[in-house]
Structure formats: structure tokens, C-alpha cells
Amino acid sequence: MKLYILRHGETAYNAGNLIQGTTDIPLSPEGIRQAHEAHERITVRHGLRFDKIYSSPLVRAVRTGEIVTGQSRDTFVIDRRLREIEVGALAGRSTLEDTEVMVNFMRYPDKYVPLEGGESFPDLVQRAGGFLQWLRGQDLPESTLLCTHGGWMHAMRLYLEPGEMRNFWKPSITNCTLFQLEPDGDTWKITDIIANTEGRALGF
């Protein structure tokens, strides 16, 4: 049994260095191109096929999953636990802002205090980890795909490979990168990464 986790393609907010969170931004033309390239890389070159697909409800994740797998969203299981980090009042603001809250969000996650309506990084780690543990108890088929977001994937990695919260964003996860996980006792371990080196690095 293998579990795959896919980050969505680029959006205009990614390209413009704007915080998205759960704002429902569609793929940009570049993001669509990346998703088609990922289809070639993942399903053609590596020959991967997915028996079951879970997706964040956000359109950028759903559309990426459709393009990469060649399957309709009607076949996906939509689950809010896979959505991106809730950023509250940070949504739409530039990541280049020289404000304490933005500097902490981008560079010092261990010092980040969410604004109204926001979610902390530890809370995101627990949400991602809780979903993974829930999946571990399900009767999954041979190959399952999760279509999600950069922040969620960083949280997943920190849950599975515990480290310091200040390193939350390191190393980077570019658009349309695919992680492979395999069962490890009552949890999972990361066993492979099929990276897209052309995508935007940070996820938010």
C-alpha cells in the first residue's frame, strides 16, 4: 500500500507573492502547464495510477488532481481536512511586507501568532497529522492520492519527521511536487519525493 501527496500547480497569488490560505484561487495558465507536465512525469514516466483520490475542496487542488490523474472530480473524495492553512486577515497580503506578523509567518514560524480567523502552525501540523492517522486506520486500496497544498505538506512532513517549528518551511516544496508514503507501524514514512523544480517554492 502506498500513499501519494500532491501539491497543486501555480496560481496568480503564488506568482504575485500573495498569501492565499483558503481563498479559492484557480490555477494560472502556468499552473495548468505545470499540472500537465506533472501528468507526464507522474503517470506516464513513472507509470503511477491511483485507485482512490482525496482532495482539498479548493479549486486549485481539485483541478490539479484532475489534470494529473486524468480523472473527473466526481470520482474524488473531497475532505476539508486537506485544505490549506487558515490565514484569516493575512489573506491577499504580500509576503514581502515588512510587518512583524508577515516576517514571522514567512521566516520565523515558531514566533507566528495568527491574526483573527487564522490557524497556527502547530494547529496545522495536528490537522495534517490527524488526517494521516485517520487514513492509517482506513481500508485503503493499493495506491491512494491526496491533492492538497504546500503548507499542508510542510505540516505533514513536520508531523512525520519531527523537528523545530522554526524550520517549518524548510526544505521547500515546489508546485506539483509529489510525495510517496508507505506504512510504518501505526503511522507512515516518506519514502520518495518526485519534485518539480520549476514551481514556486513556498506554499500558503
- Angle (CA) 28-2-26 rounded to 5° is 10
Distance of CA 174 to the CA centre of its chain: 10
Strand 52-55 relative to strand 143-148, pairing: parallel
Active site residue 8: yes
Catalytic, out of 10, 30, 66, 84: 84
**Residues 58/149, Cβ–Cβ less than 8 Å:** yes
Identify the CA nearest to 4 among candidates 137, 176, 121: 176
Torsion over CA: 43, 56, 28, 12 (sign): negative
Strand order across the beta sheet in which 77-78 lies: 77-78, 52-55, 143-148, 2-7, 178-184, 187-194
Active site residue 154: no
The CA distance from 86 to 118, in Å, is 5
Catalytic, out of 8, 39, 149, 154: 8
Q: Which residues are catalytic?
A: 8, 84
